[in-house]
Structures are given as structure tokens and as C-alpha cells.
A and B are shown apart, each in its own frame.
Chain A
Amino acid sequence: AQSVTQLDSQVPVFEEAPVELRCNYSSSVSVYLFWYVQYPNQGLQLLLKYLSGSTLVKGINGFEAEFNKSQTSFHLRKPSVHISDTAEYFCAVSDDSNYQLIWGAGTKLIIKP
């Protein structure tokens, strides 16, 4: 069965510094990968997705992620974070065998002024 591991439960970073949030998934023949953001007391908003093609995916709010098949990873990056990026970030995966999303446990991004 598919599984997703987000290696860090919390990531503290200074404002305007770069950040990387890590995500690894269990292997599958063909996967579809997503990053969602959840602001406090809100639902989930899609940041970006990888379906096929270029391994570097650009999303909203200046975020990007790189799909690495050999390492089964899909890490999220931003070159310069802002206080408004404070939120919880979830990595999710689906594959050709089913339509449900399998989720990681989430990473809380904490921006230090």
C-alpha cells in the first residue's frame, strides 16, 4: 500500500531565508504527487502538483517542488519565506490503482521574525 512520510513535524526558519520541506513516498509504478497548505482553522489549498513531464514543478505563492523518482521524494522549496507562509504543509500521493489521496502527517512551517 502507498504511504507518505514527511520527515519533519516542524521546521523553524527566519523570515526571508530559504526553506525545504521534505516528503518521501513508497514506490509505485506511476504516482501523482501533491502539496497542500492548511492555514489555521481553514481547509486545504493546493500549492502544486506533479502528474508527469518536467520534474521541477512550480506552484502558487513562490513555491516549487522537485520530483525525484530514484529517491522517491517530492521536496517542497521556497527561496525566501514570509511571515504569511506560516501554516501546515501536507504532501499527498495517489496512483493509477485508486483515486484516493494518501497523506503525510504534515509539517508546520514556523517563521521567525
Chain B
Amino acid sequence: DAGVTQSPTHLIKTRGQQVTLRCSPKSGHDTVSWYQQALGQGPQFIFQYYEEEERQRGNFPDRFSGHQFPNYSSELNVNALLLGDSALYLCASSPDRGRVYGYTFGSGTRLTVV
């Protein structure tokens, strides 16, 4: 059974560009959350998608947006990239919005902004 799949694994972008990261949740999971993990830090919550809608959002600017598709897969879009957006972006899925089951995480996308 495949877990959470993220693509691409690594990405290098130039400041000011836009990027799209993709996530396929674990089979049977309908909730997708996105986290940003800077080097040497714990993950920071970006937002959560459930039933194709953004249900909760962390303290991130509007440059960060997302989408969830009917098959529960999700995209994270970041516009006008800044050097400070360089980080590991983690996708996590859950069958119950993380309440009892918790989350299954993907291996992440390493974004480097130059």
C-alpha cells in the first residue's frame, strides 16, 4: 500500500518565480495538510484541505495557496518566491483530519530558491 507520495523530490527556483508542489495522499485518506520545515526547525503548518476546501490556515501569506482535487490529491502553489521560502515542504494525509489517526507524512519536496 503506497503511502503519501510527493513530487518533485527536489526543486531549484529563482527568486520571483512561481512553483507548484504535488501530493497524493495515502489510500483511504481524505484530508491533506501541508507543512513547511526550514533547516533545523520543526514543521510549520501552512493549511489543511478537506472536502476540496481549505479548512484551516496557518500564519502564511497569500502567496501560498492550494487546491484539493476530487480524488483527494492536492497541490501547493507558492507565488513570487523569496529566498526565505527555501525549505522542505511536507504533505501529510489523514482519514479523520488527524484527530484520532494522526497523520502519515510524505518524504517531502526540497525547494531551494536562488
Cβ-defined partner of B99 (8 Å) among A99, A102, A104: A99
B44 to A, closest residue via Cβ:
A103
Q: How far is the CA of A42 from the CA of B6 in the complex (A)?
A: 12
A46 in contact with B42 (CB, 8 Å): no
B56 in contact with A99 (CB, 8 Å): yes
Cβ-defined partner of A101 (8 Å) among B98, B100, B104, B108: B98
A105 in contact with B99 (CB, 8 Å): no
Within 8 Å of chain A (Cβ to Cβ): is B78?
Answer: no
- List, in ascending order, chain A residues with CB within 8 A of B102's CB: 34, 46, 49
CB distance from A44 to the nearest CB of B (A): 4
Cβ-defined partner of A100 (8 Å) among B33, B41, B108: B33
How many cross-chain pairs have Cβ atoms below 8 Å apart between A and B?
58
Chain A, interface SS category: strand
Chain B, interface SS category: loop
A32 in contact with B108 (CB, 8 Å): no
A99-B48, A99-B55, A99-B56 known; A105 and B41 CB under 8 Å? yes
B4 in contact with A43 (CB, 8 Å): yes
Interface positions, chain B 10-67, Cβ under 8 Å from A, are 33, 35, 40-45, 48, 55-56, 58
Within 8 Å of chain A (Cβ to Cβ): is B103?
Answer: yes
Q: How far is the CA of A102 from the CA of B44 in the complex (A)?
A: 7
CB distance from B7 to the nearest CB of A (A): 13
Taking A102-B45, A103-B42 as known contacts, 19 extra A-B pairs with beta carbons closer than 8 A to each other, sorted by chain A number, are A42-B107, A43-B4, A43-B105, A43-B106, A44-B43, A44-B92, A46-B102, A46-B103, A94-B98, A94-B99, A99-B48, A99-B56, A100-B48, A104-B42, A105-B40, A105-B41, A105-B42, A106-B40, A106-B42
Chain B contact residues, CB within 8 Å of chain A: 4, 33, 35, 40-45, 48, 55-56, 58, 90, 92, 97-100, 102-108
Chain A contact residues, CB within 8 Å of chain B: 4, 32, 34, 36, 41-46, 49, 51, 90, 92, 94, 98-106
13 contacts between A and B (CB under 8 A): A42-B108, A43-B106, A43-B107, A44-B105, A46-B102, A94-B98, A94-B99, A98-B56, A99-B55, A100-B33, A100-B45, A104-B42, A106-B42
